[in-house]
Amino acid sequence: MKTTFKIMEIINICALTFLLAGAYGITITGALQVLAAFLFLILFPKNKFIYIYFSLVIFFFLIWDGEFTWLFLLPVALIFFLTFIIYNQKKKL
- Among candidates 72, 88, 74, 75, which has minimal Cα distance to 40? 88
Count of beta carbons in the 10 Å neighbourhood of residue 8: 22
| DSSP-derived secondary structure for the chain | -HHHHHHHHHHHHHHHHGGGGTHHHHHHHHHHHHHHHHHHHHH-TT-HHHHHHHHHHHHHHHH--SS-SGGGHHHHHHHHHHHHHHHHHHHH-
Mind listing the pLDDT tens digit for each residue in 17-51? 887 777 677 788 889 999 999 999 999 999 999 99
Query: 69 falls in which pLDDT band (50, 70, 90)?
Result: confident
Query: 91 falls in which pLDDT band (50, 70, 90)?
Result: confident
Domain borders along the chain are 1-88
